Chains A and B, each alone.
Chain A
Amino acid sequence: MSDIVEKTLTALPGLFLQNQSVGGPAGVKTSFSSRLGGLVRGITALTSKHEEEKLIQQELSNLKATVSAPTTTLRMMRECMVRLIYCEMLGYDASFGYIHAIKLAQQGNLLEKRVGYLAVSLFLHENHELLLLLVNTVVKDLQSTNLVEVCMALTIVSQIFPREMIPAVLPLIEDKLQHSKEIIRRKAVLALYKFHLIAPNQVQHIHIKFRKALCDRDVGVMAASLHIYFRMIKENSSGYKDLTGSFVTILKQVVGGKLPVDFNYHSVPAPWIQIQLLRILGLLGKDDQRTSELMYDVLDESLRRAELNHNVTYAILFECVHTVYSIYPKSELLEKAAKCIGKFVLSPKINLKYLGLKALTYVIQQDPTLALQHQMTIIECLDHPDPIIKRETLELLYRITNAQNITVIVQKMLEYLHQSKEEYIIVNLVGKIAELAEKYAPDNAWFIQTMNAVFSVGGDVMHPDIPNNFMRLLAEGFDDETEDQQLRLYAVQSYLTLLDVENVFYPQKFLQVMSWVDASLSFLDGFVAEELSQGAAPYKPHHQRQEEKLSQEKVLNFEPYGLSFSSSGFTGRQSPAGISLGSDISGNSAETGMKETNSLKLEGIKKLWGKEGYLPKKEGKTGDETEALPVPQESIIMENVDQAVTKKDQCQVLTQSKEEKEKQLLASSLFVGLGSESTINLLGKADTVSHKFRRKPKVKETKSGETTSAHSMTCSYFSSSSNATYEDDYYLDALQDRGDKELNKFSLNSELLDSESLTELPSVEKLSNCKLSSSPSLFTDNNMEGFHPSQSTAPSVAPETSLASSLLEETSEHMHSELVEVCHNETISVSSYKIWKDDCLFIVWSVSNKSGLELKSANLEIAPAENFKITEQPGCCLPVIEAESIKTFQYSVQMEKPFTEGNLSGFINYQMMDTHSVQLEFSVNLSLLDFIRPLKISTENFGKLWLSFANDVKQNVKVSESQATLPSALKTLQQKLRLHVVEIIGNEGLLACQLLPSIPCLLHFRVHGDVLALWFRSSCSALPDYLLYQCQKVMEGS
């Protein structure tokens, strides 16, 4: 009985509602008397959480009865649904209503359907099983003649849709791209965007239609398509370079105010569209000079036009700055962008200041002088009351840490760490501190103290790699035995002091570390035993751990350098650059589980500003080695100089307040070693150091000039050969300068290579310049052949003397193949050879007229081929080949799609003595390797690129015994595949190459017995497979 009464009561408000005007600006305020209004008011009147819970539970049980009663009309159901949404928002479970939401969307009229769809979108997530029941409704509504129903269906699809049911609606949505109403076209584009996110393969075939959407006459449709393009270009920028012009044109129109005024926002033309376009351009222009050049003008205009002092203008400016620093650099634009950053940093508005710091963090490694310019602001931000400002400042400092400023920076980080409570921040911060400490520790005591702090704060949450790596360092030590002893002794002493303090609890992991280190000390036996009983790892002698490591090698070492601390176990103290990224990963994986696959780890990377804020080369190459020494000699000298300069500074600022002075002092200790001179510092020329923080404007000017040039060099991963040579020589000299001490350390790092071969390793890069005559010897056996693609014949100067003269001049500068005859008859002979230029493949056909007569209308044509772009080079002008002479035809070939083998065919025809025309056909084989060039990048960049690439292929290749050593494997890869050796760490190697014009591919390999473990990664999905195939071929073939 009471049930029926309840139902009647519940139904009443629904009935009332029918008479109300619902919706529309005028009617909205009248719905206070609704049942929902009653509920809301009821809850607001309550004072305790307990009362609220009681009321809601009561409400829910009423609702449950109502929605399942057969007498409930759809109109009542709609009202119930709104209340259910409300209860869920308050945090109560209303899952019994989900199915009714689907029914409402299915059966209701427009008004009810709308609420039904809304409830579905709020209740369910895309993996919810009930969602499958909605598919039929969506299909029906997509086919409806009622615009509103179509809109609703498209709206729900754009929010949640089961991935496996996409084929059921895809054709319908594709049709909507041609709909006459722009709102339908726009929503259809967004639905396809959603599909692209959850199932990219399913929408691949409609990429052409996206192009139509981009050119849609309606601005909204065009803007919606930008979302798809942003994603697609982010995944594979090389596939959309041809659209650069279009994006630039659109941006020009937007910036120039050509869009309807409706799209203005606070009198700024379409800011959302501007920003999206700027982001797209940033992706397209990255590392690509030609593409970047197309956008310089419009970026300049954007920077110029955004002058209004409004938040939205700053949003555009910020994006502009980001783009300018992402693309191939142009000094004028960089200058303007730097000024912009200055405006942000110096702004009194805190939001802008924060973004200024963020921008600085992004550009700092490209342009360290910018940090010097703003050093006082940075110092102030370090003590800012808002923790987010502080944190961003620390992030900035983290990126400029070096051996000289480490103590100050780590101290600041520790201060922040002690104040932090949030686990995510702690994990992140301890990872960074541990990484910096290991890289740049000035002395043993400092190192141990810092690590103690790290363990005591972060011990419970930190990534296990941190203690593991620390213990490995203690156990294995460095080259200096007394130094090692001192380090261990100091560690033990510090632990004893810590353990003496009463009533202090240390995290489990810290105690494990202590007990492991102190295990040999008998007076700690009791303590150790206790720890062991709690599950601490028992001490294992060094050799035992080594053995275990070897036995676990598959698990431990099959991870990439930098992703795992343990894999760098063979490298001694030197940590590969990737670790800096690894520490962020550690932060995440500690939360989400330790043993994640690599692809999962990628998600955890804190994508601070995207991919390319990278260290200048000096830190990557020379920095690591010197600073790895406990107390590098250079840094002592520099410290002295630093002090001297600080004194000078002090004299100058005598009149300043004490506080100011302190800031100045802090500044000089923080910004030590920044600026372009630091490259030289590390090479031992300490006299230039004094420039570092003397803030005379004159010096600054020259410095910014230098930085720009350094910038343009490092900014491109694919630096031109001349730059590369310069850098290589530089590096080589530096290595030799540093002398034997370094070399010994080097040799420690590798069991396989002797120190001599290591000193010469950098010269490997030279090979890529392909100067055949002067190939420097790489390995002791000195039988270097130079690069050549799959054919095993060594390239050489043309063998046929008669044709020798026909070799082009530039041939001597570049690697080329042998001259091979491709076709001939009694009159002519056609030979061809390839020139592997830095930026393309050149094929030269040389036609020799063997007869004593002149050949007329001689014409050579190459048939268009699917995967190639063939461009005839100017040179052959007259269609006449004189008697007994040679004529050459040159073509440059670019590859458009990766492949393994391809064929280029063509024909030559000519006329003799005005008689008949003769035609001869020929073809030339092309291999992928013809388009592979070494990619000269630093280890840091390698690490960053590695993490940003999604496509990878792993394979173990068995090789013959002679191949199974690092040097010989390296040699093969270098010579036959044109890979650039980035770094060698123990028995692992990092190599990099690019597929012309600019698709990078990275290879990590390690030698283990007679197995070569290869791991390729690239931004292009097909490339790793193809390269692996080539790799297997050369490995097995030799």
Chain B
Amino acid sequence: MQFMLLFSRQGKLRLQKWYVPLSDKEKKKITRELVQTVLARKPKMCSFLEWRDLKIVYKRYASLYFCCAIEDQDNELITLEIIHRYVELLDKYFGSVCELDIIFNFEKAYFILDEFLLGGEVQETSKKNVLKAIEQADLLQENSPSIVLNYCR
């Protein structure tokens, strides 16, 4: 995967994760163009989009669009499932997730994403394991250092 963008129906960016090195200028340009293109699509249209030499796979959940860029030889359908799995993870973590959860806790959304996808590849396919990793990190942070250290060793 080359990058993942989350944006609202109004075109506001909610999350961006880039797995390929690009300049800020390029990132902005790509984001602007893509948000425009995706928002202009009609609901019954295909979830895939050819864009430059990339494939865009997108899906809308309530007011939020999830949008991934993959290479042409990658599997579009499984990318849709990656998006869905991410939404499942967010949902489980936040408890029926809504756009506001992601806006106000976007760093959490990033942490979850980083436990699921790493460097653009699926890191862990078991939902249980991903959530365990997140909760462990959260828990440790909440506790006092001595307990943390004991727990870890």
Contacts from A to B (Cβ < 8 Å) = 21-25, 28-29, 31-32, 34, 36-37, 40, 82, 85-86, 89-91, 93, 109-111, 114-115, 118, 121-122, 125-127, 145-148, 151, 155, 158-160, 183, 186-187, 190, 193-194, 197, 219-220, 223-224, 227, 260, 262-263, 265, 270-273, 275, 311-312, 314-315, 318-319, 350-351, 353-355, 385-386, 388-389, 391-392, 424-425, 588, 604, 606-610
Show 28 A/B contacts (Cβ-Cβ < 8 Å), sorted by A: A23-B108, A82-B106, A86-B106, A114-B141, A118-B107, A122-B110, A126-B21, A127-B21, A146-B148, A146-B149, A146-B152, A155-B114, A155-B118, A159-B118, A187-B118, A197-B119, A271-B78, A272-B122, A273-B125, A275-B78, A315-B77, A350-B46, A351-B80, A353-B46, A354-B76, A388-B48, A424-B51, A607-B72
- Does B73 reach chain A (CB closer than 8 Å)? yes
Residues of B within 8 A of A29 (CB): 94, 101
- Tell me if B125 and A220 are in contact (CB < 8 A): yes
Residues of B within 8 A of A21 (CB): 142
Contacts from B to A (Cβ < 8 Å) = 13-19, 21-24, 28, 42, 44-53, 71-73, 75-78, 80-81, 85, 93-95, 101, 103-108, 110-111, 114, 118-119, 121-129, 133, 135-142, 145, 148-149, 152-153
- Tell me if A193 and B121 are in contact (CB < 8 A): yes
Q: In the assembly, what is the distance between CA of A82 and CA of B80, in Å?
A: 29
Residues of A within 8 A of B51 (CB): 424
Find the B residue at minimum CB distance from A150.
B152
Q: In the assembly, what is the distance between CA of A81 and CA of B131, in Å?
A: 24
Residues of B within 8 A of A604 (CB): 53
- Tell me if A151 and B13 are in contact (CB < 8 A): no
Supposing A146-B149, A315-B77 touch, asked if A89 and B13 sit within 8 A by C-beta, the answer is: yes
- Tell me if A271 and B81 are in contact (CB < 8 A): yes
What is the distance, in angstroms, from A247's C-beta to the closest C-beta of chain B? 17
- Tell me if A32 and B110 are in contact (CB < 8 A): no
- Tell me if A355 and B125 are in contact (CB < 8 A): no
Q: In the assembly, what is the distance between CA of A160 and CA of B20, in Å?
A: 10
Q: In the assembly, what is the distance between CA of A911 and CA of B13, in Å?
A: 87
What is the distance, in angstroms, from A145's C-beta to the closest C-beta of chain B? 6
New contact pairs (8) apart from A29-B94, A227-B121, CB-CB < 8 Å: A25-B94, A114-B141, A148-B136, A159-B119, A265-B125, A315-B77, A319-B78, A588-B53
Q: In the assembly, what is the distance between CA of A385 and CA of B114, in Å?
A: 37
Residues of B within 8 A of A270 (CB): 125
Residues of B within 8 A of A186 (CB): 123-124
Residues of B within 8 A of A194 (CB): 119
Supposing A126-B21, A262-B127 touch, asked if A145 and B152 sit within 8 A by C-beta, the answer is: yes
- Tell me if B107 and A315 are in contact (CB < 8 A): no
Find the B residue at minimum CB distance from A91.
B28
Residues of A within 8 A of B149 (CB): 145-146
Q: In the assembly, what is the distance between CA of A319 and CA of B48, in Å?
A: 17
Find the B residue at minimum CB distance from A312.
B81
- Tell me if B125 and A388 are in contact (CB < 8 A): no
Residues of A within 8 A of B129 (CB): 183, 220, 262
Contact of B81 among A86, A148, A311, A354 (CB under 8 A): A311
Supposing A146-B149, A148-B152 touch, asked if A312 and B78 sit within 8 A by C-beta, the answer is: yes
Contact of A219 among B80, B103, B126, B142 (CB under 8 A): B126
Residues of A within 8 A of B77 (CB): 311-312, 314-315, 318, 351, 355
Contact of A190 among B13, B47, B119, B153 (CB under 8 A): B119
User: Which of B13, B42, B44, B148 has the largest count of A CB atoms less than 10 A from its CB?
Assistant: B148
Residues of B within 8 A of A110 (CB): 137, 140-141, 148
Q: In the assembly, what is the distance between CA of A223 and CA of B52, in Å?
A: 30
Q: In the assembly, what is the distance between CA of A160 and CA of B16, in Å?
A: 15
- Tell me if A386 and B126 are in contact (CB < 8 A): no
What is the distance, in angstroms, from A125's C-beta to the closest C-beta of chain B? 4
Q: In the assembly, what is the distance between CA of A514 and CA of B24, in Å?
A: 41
Find the A residue at minimum CB distance from B115.
A155
- Tell me if B72 and A609 are in contact (CB < 8 A): yes
Q: In the assembly, what is the distance between CA of A385 and CA of B41, in Å?
A: 11
- Tell me if B124 and A220 are in contact (CB < 8 A): yes
Contact of A386 among B46, B123, B137 (CB under 8 A): B46
- Tell me if B104 and A151 are in contact (CB < 8 A): no
Residues of A within 8 A of B93 (CB): 25, 28
Residues of B within 8 A of A160 (CB): 21
Interface of A is mostly: helix
Q: In the assembly, what is the distance between CA of A424 and CA of B56, in Å?
A: 15
Contact of B104 among A31, A85, A155, A193 (CB under 8 A): A31
What is the distance, in angstroms, from A156's C-beta to the closest C-beta of chain B? 9
- Tell me if B22 and A319 are in contact (CB < 8 A): no
What is the distance, in angstroms, from B106's C-beta to the closest C-beta of chain A? 7
- Tell me if A224 and B126 are in contact (CB < 8 A): no
- Tell me if B138 and A23 are in contact (CB < 8 A): yes
- Tell me if A190 and B53 are in contact (CB < 8 A): no
Q: In the assembly, what is the distance between CA of A355 and CA of B71, in Å?
A: 15
Contact of A28 among B21, B24, B75, B108 (CB under 8 A): B108
Q: In the assembly, what is the distance between CA of A892 and CA of B59, in Å?
A: 57
Find the A residue at minimum CB distance from B53.
A606
Residues of A within 8 A of B24 (CB): 93
What is the distance, in angstroms, from A259's C-beta to the closest C-beta of chain B? 9
Residues of B within 8 A of A24 (CB): 135, 138-139, 142
Residues of A within 8 A of B95 (CB): 25
Q: In the assembly, what is the distance between CA of A21 and CA of B139, in Å?
A: 11
Q: In the assembly, what is the distance between CA of A114 and CA of B115, in Å?
A: 13
Residues of A within 8 A of B140 (CB): 110, 148
Find the A residue at minimum CB distance from B76.
A355
- Tell me if B47 and A351 are in contact (CB < 8 A): yes
Q: In the assembly, what is the distance between CA of A893 and CA of B106, in Å?
A: 61
Find the A residue at minimum CB distance from B78.
A315
- Tell me if B53 and A125 are in contact (CB < 8 A): no
Q: In the assembly, what is the distance between CA of A265 and CA of B89, in Å?
A: 12
Residues of B within 8 A of A424 (CB): 51-53
Closest 5 CB pairs of A and B: A315-B77, A125-B21, A262-B126, A315-B78, A23-B138
- Tell me if A275 and B118 are in contact (CB < 8 A): no
Residues of B within 8 A of A227 (CB): 121
Contact of B153 among A34, A85, A145, A223 (CB under 8 A): A145
Q: In the assembly, what is the distance between CA of A193 and CA of B13, in Å?
A: 30
What is the distance, in angstroms, from B102's C-beta to the closest C-beta of chain A? 10
Residues of B within 8 A of A34 (CB): 104
Q: In the assembly, what is the distance between CA of A338 and CA of B19, in Å?
A: 35
Q: In the assembly, what is the distance between CA of A350 and CA of B41, in Å?
A: 14
- Tell me if A36 and B72 are in contact (CB < 8 A): no
Supposing A146-B148, A351-B77 touch, asked if A224 and B123 sit within 8 A by C-beta, the answer is: yes
- Tell me if B119 and A193 are in contact (CB < 8 A): yes
- Tell me if B119 and A350 are in contact (CB < 8 A): no
Q: In the assembly, what is the distance between CA of A379 and CA of B129, in Å?
A: 47
Supposing A114-B137, A265-B85, A607-B71 touch, asked if A272 and B125 sit within 8 A by C-beta, the answer is: yes
- Tell me if B75 and A318 are in contact (CB < 8 A): yes
Contact of A388 among B49, B114, B123, B124 (CB under 8 A): B49
- Tell me if A125 and B111 are in contact (CB < 8 A): no
- Tell me if A90 and B13 are in contact (CB < 8 A): yes
Find the A residue at minimum CB distance from B57.
A351
Supposing A29-B101, A148-B136 touch, asked if A315 and B119 sit within 8 A by C-beta, the answer is: no
- Tell me if B76 and A36 are in contact (CB < 8 A): no
What is the distance, in angstroms, from A141's C-beta to the closest C-beta of chain B? 13
Residues of A within 8 A of B136 (CB): 147-148
Residues of B within 8 A of A37 (CB): 104
What is the distance, in angstroms, from A179's C-beta to the closest C-beta of chain B? 13
- Tell me if B133 and A151 are in contact (CB < 8 A): yes
